[in-house]
Amino acid sequence: MHRGKKSFGDIDWKEDRSDETVAEVVADALREAVLNGTLNPGEKLREKAICDQMGISRTPLREAYRILQMENLLVYEPYVGVKVAYFSPTFLNENWDIRMVLEAHAARCCGTKSINVELAEFQTMLIAMRVADANNQEFENLDEAFHLLVARKSCNTALYNQIKHLWNITNFLRKISLYKAGRSQKSKEEHIAVLEAILDRDANRAHEAMWNHLLNSKQDVETSDFFVQGKKQIDSI
């Protein structure tokens, strides 16, 4: 899902996006600008300049800001305004490492023969994953559906709730990972490995495949422009 850098004003308003509000279209453009490095961590966003460049009013822009603040990509600082967020390696290590432990355990549960798990949804997901275009925007949705399916089918409500919570606070990191060149295709292949292990009822293989998948994703986040620039900002403080 890697995309080249471009101005966030480069929106084709003639494109059919009738199912989206103006704010959602603007949020998509700003999100891409943050994730591909056009906008740098810590950079202040200037409303008038963005409105002029995108040909919009301040109302949809501020709604787009709110969307991206909920995704932890933008932050508001009193007396300063809206800025691109940056985060510490500690945030990544603490939260992503917990995800690795919990989701790998969930995969093990799904692959355990003694646990009564309905396998039909895993088979359906495997078929969808095999035919999916990893470079298509819809792969992001499939990626989320895959992880939450494994969590939900672990037969452990507390485990599912913890994983869901971690997804909510680390979702922007997942997007950063998927924006790296070639990562989406690798992620697709790793998903398939997890699903095949679960369907083979091989708990240990399912655990290892999920652990390695999330470890690879973490390493891609650590080497992303967004993370590297954010670390430089923190080190300079």
Output the domain CATH number for residue 204: 1.20.120.530
**What is the amino acid identity at position 113?**
K
Q: Coil, strand, or helix at residue 44?
A: strand
Are residues 213 and 125 part of one domain?
yes
Q: Among the three residues 67, 84, 101, which one is the final residue of a domain in this structure?
A: 84
Are residues 212 and 96 part of one domain?
yes
Whether 222 and 179 have beta carbons less than 8 Å apart is answered as: no
Are residues 187 and 170 part of one domain?
yes
Give a yes or no: residue 59 inside a domain.
yes
Q: Among the three residues 84, 118, 135, which one is the final residue of a domain in this structure?
A: 84
Are residues 114 and 62 part of one domain?
no
Are residues 110 and 58 part of one domain?
no
Q: Which domain range does residue 181 map to?
A: 89-226
Are residues 97 and 39 part of one domain?
no
Digits of tens for pLDDT over the chain (237 positions)?
A: 544 444 555 555 444 454 568 999 999 899 888 877 788 888 999 999 999 999 999 999 999 999 999 888 899 999 999 999 877 788 888 899 999 999 999 999 999 988 888 899 999 999 999 999 988 878 988 999 999 999 999 999 999 999 998 987 888 788 788 877 788 999 999 999 999 999 999 999 999 999 999 999 999 988 887 777 666 666 665
Are residues 193 and 117 part of one domain?
yes
Are residues 186 and 69 part of one domain?
no
Domain count, the chain: 2
Q: Coil, strand, or helix at residue 81?
A: strand
Give a yes or no: residue 14 inside a domain.
no
* pLDDT confidence of residue 72: 80
Residues 63 and 45: their CA atoms lie apart, in Å, by: 14
Distances (CA, A) of 128 to 29, 119, 132, 145, 195: 27, 14, 6, 11, 11
Are residues 77 and 131 part of one domain?
no
Are residues 176 and 59 part of one domain?
no
Are residues 113 and 173 part of one domain?
yes
Are residues 112 and 78 part of one domain?
no
* pLDDT confidence of residue 146: 97
Burial string for 4-39 (b: 16+ CB within 10 Å, else e) reads eeeebeebeeeeeeeeeebbebbbbbbbbbbbbebb
Give a yes or no: residue 1 inside a domain.
no
Say which residue the tokens 């399912």 belong to: 206
Give a yes or no: residue 79 inside a domain.
yes
**Which residue spans within the chain are E strands per DSSP?**
74-77, 81-84
Give a yes or no: residue 137 inside a domain.
yes
CATH assignment of the domain containing 43:
1.10.10.10
Give a yes or no: residue 163 inside a domain.
yes
Which residues does residue 82 pair with via DSSP β-bridges, in sequence order? 76
Give a yes or no: residue 211 inside a domain.
yes
